[in-house]
Structure 1
Amino acid sequence: MVMEQDDDTDFVKFWNAVLEPKFTRYRHILQGGLSRHSAAVIPKLPLKEGMSVLDVGCGWGDMSLQVAEIVGPEGRILGIDCVDAFMEEGRKDAVAKGLSNVEFSRGDAEVALPENEFDYVIARFGTMFFTNPVAALRRMRLALKPGGQMTHIVWRRREDNPAWQKAKDITLRHLPPPGEDADTCGPGPFSMANQEVAGLMMKSAGYEDVTFTRVDEKIMIGTTPEECIAFALAIGPGGEVFREAGEELAEAKRAVIESEMREYFESQERDEDGIWAPSSSWVISARNPA
């Protein structure tokens, strides 16, 4: 299942070379900032002790570690992600927590997954980036035992996610949209926002009993307005516009973009952890036919 570097797709190479350093720099936001979504979803999953679970696109593995504690020492969880550095951190954290029932493996769900091995498959904010979503969702289903279940969390519509979209809207007032040949992280965070389209993807991938549950929670977008701005210009839809505009043009417009972003970020909820902005997700659950 672990791919050789020479076999990596351009998508995987882009994640490892371009996005990984940025994600690592803002790990405290990307991981800790999603805590309210995780808290709203994980306790409601029908996970039981002794289950075998696959976590697709697990990132640094924080959700894998939570699930490992739920399924207990008799259970097993495998976290996979295409980014080498994420896997290394996940392994370190598992050791620090004394969890021996979790494994992290470098893999790409669009290329290969184990088959007929797991009781449950989970994915949090990763499936939206599949370049071939139906094929990848089918691989996730085939990783399940007959009758096994899956749950993945995806972002809803742009207008329901100002935490991400507002930075892009501001940036696009001053910079051109990325071209068709732009380097991107995949189809984008809102590629499964449409319930009807996402439902058709799931059915085409062979799932049964597909359900959608809406979750509205705020996510942390930085600890200070300054960090919110830096984060928005490095990662996500706004960061993509800024990067693809080219350094000369982007830097020429930086001051006005940052000023407008600061005004927005300062208007949002703030607590001792940081600044929180509204977001909305679909929790999509389904079953592999028995």
Structure 2
Amino acid sequence: MPSTPPTQHDLWNGPAGDAWVQAQSLLDGMFAGFVSVLADPVDPAAHVLDVGCGTGALCLAIASRLGPDGRCGGVDISAPMIDVARERARSAGQSIDFTVADAEQHAFAPASLDRIVSRFGVMFFNDPVQAFANLRRALRSGGSLHAIAWRGPADNPFMTTAERVAAPLLTLPARAEGGPGQFAFADADKVRGILKDAGWKDIQITQLDVECSIPADQLPTYVSLLGPVGQALRAADLAPADRTRILQTVVDAFAPFVQGDNVVFNAACWSIRAV
């Protein structure tokens, strides 16, 4: 019988969460271009929540822009990532409220926030209508949402290169059709319907393209840790030589994205705003 796929809680408190912790600095650099998109401008007195905050990079950026009356918080289902986020905030001398919780279910203080932001954190809800209704109740009247989500796989060849090349070589975890996952918000009309059903107004969904990069010498780390291929490589019972061969085959497939010492790609996303 086929095994039951892991829940989002199990995934992000297990292999996926551990991988993102290990790749924290790589991911921070890769997605640095999204920080200004979500953190600027910010009212210095605003109360802001980052949904799916991960290891805290966006929270740290927002907190540094707030004044003494402002407040920043982050929520994530992954305890390992929140542990890192808390340590980073302590090291930076920032007072940030980090919570390990599922934003779909968590009892946020009603009407306590001015703004909710998210960088790739809203595509993983089991019931997105319930999740966005829950988040809406946490906002004050006139409060705003700004989330970034991936467009479709065809728009993001970098993000699917490893899977395409590794598919004949490894047993990859299947992407759940219509369920939570990286490309769950690829259909803008579907996202607009989710937000409308959850009670949001003035919904604006626009294309956002951001150039991202990582050092070329970090590409093997990226492939071996992240996404379905990283998950499969960690789980597979492979001889060291076979593992090395597969990893090199996948890394070589990223040659079209290599520019000198860097791997450069376009992140094709949706900018999702609502009030």
What SS does the corresponding residue of 1:67 show, helix, strand or coil? helix
Q: Deviations over 1:5-33 (max 9, x none)?
A: xxxx9421331122222111111122221
Task: Give percent identity, aligned residues only.
Answer: 28
Q: CA deviation at 1:194?
A: 0.9
- Which residue of 1 is the match for residue 212 of structure 2? 219
**Within 5 Å, which residues of 2 pair with 1:40-79?**
40-43=37-40, 45=41, 47-79=42-74
Deviation at 1:196, TM superposition (A): 0.8
Deviations 1:201-248, CA, capped at 9 Å, x for gaps: 11111111110122212323x5335x323422331143345567x435
Alpha-carbon distance in 2 for matches of 1:123, 1:242 = 29
**1:55-103: CA deviation from partner (whole Å, max 9, x where unpaired):** 1111111111211122311111111112223222222222332223x22
1:155 corresponds to 2:150: yes
Shift of 1:253: 6.3
Gaps of 5+ in 2: 1-5
Number of residue pairs aligned between Structure 1 and Structure 2: 267
Residue 107 of structure 1, CA deviation: 1.6
> Could you tell me which residue of structure 1 aligns to residue 195 of structure 2?
202
Q: Which residue of 1 aligns with 2:266?
A: 278
Q: Decide which of 118, 123, 128 is 1:133's aligned counterpart.
A: 128
In structure 2, the partner of 1:191 is 184
Structure 2 distance, partners of 1:267, 1:84, is 36
Matched, 1:268 2:266: no
Confirm or deny: 8 A CA contact 1:134 1:205 kept in the other structure: yes
**What aligned pairs does 1:84-103 form with structure 2 within 5 A after superposition?**
84-100=79-95, 102-103=96-97
* Number of the residue aligned with 2:229: 238
- Asked if the contact 2:161–2:254 (Cα under 8 Å) also holds between the matched residues in 1, the reply is no
Q: Aligned match of 1:166 in 161, 169, 172?
A: 161
Shift of 1:49: 1.5
Provide the secondary structure at the position in 1 that maps to 2:270.
strand
In structure 2, C-alpha distance between the alignment counterparts of 1:91 and 1:262, rounded to whole Å: 33
User: Does 2:114 match 1:119?
Assistant: yes
Q: Distance in 2 between matches of 1:203 and 1:251?
A: 51
Instruction: Tell me, in whole angstroms, the C-alpha distance in 2 between the residues paired with 1:174 and 1:130.
Output: 30
TM-score (norm 1): 0.82
Q: Relative to 1, partners in 2 of residues 1:178 and 1:98: Cα closer, same or farther, differing over 3 Å?
A: closer
Distance 1:123 1:278, change over 3 A: same
Alignment of 1:25 onto 2:19: no
Q: Secondary structure at the match of 1:208?
A: coil
Name the CA shift for 1:21/1:176 in 2 (closer, same or farther; >3 Å). closer
For residue 39 of structure 1, report the CA deviation from its aligned partner: 3.2
In the alignment, which residue of structure 2 is the partner of 1:4? Answer: none
Kept in 2, the 8 Å contact 1:174–1:253? The answer is: no
How far did 1:265 drift? 2.5
Unaligned runs of 5+ in 1: 1-8
Higher alpha-carbon deviation: 33-42 or 190-199 = 33-42
Do residues 247 (structure 1) and 247 (structure 2) align? no
1:49–1:75 contact (8 Å) kept in structure 2: yes
The answer on whether the counterparts of 1:56 and 1:81 sit within 8 Å (CA) in structure 2 is yes
Q: 1:116 to 1:18 in 2, by over 3 A?
A: same
Sort the Cα spacing of 1:65 and 1:49 in 2 relative to 1 into closer, same or farther, 3 A: same
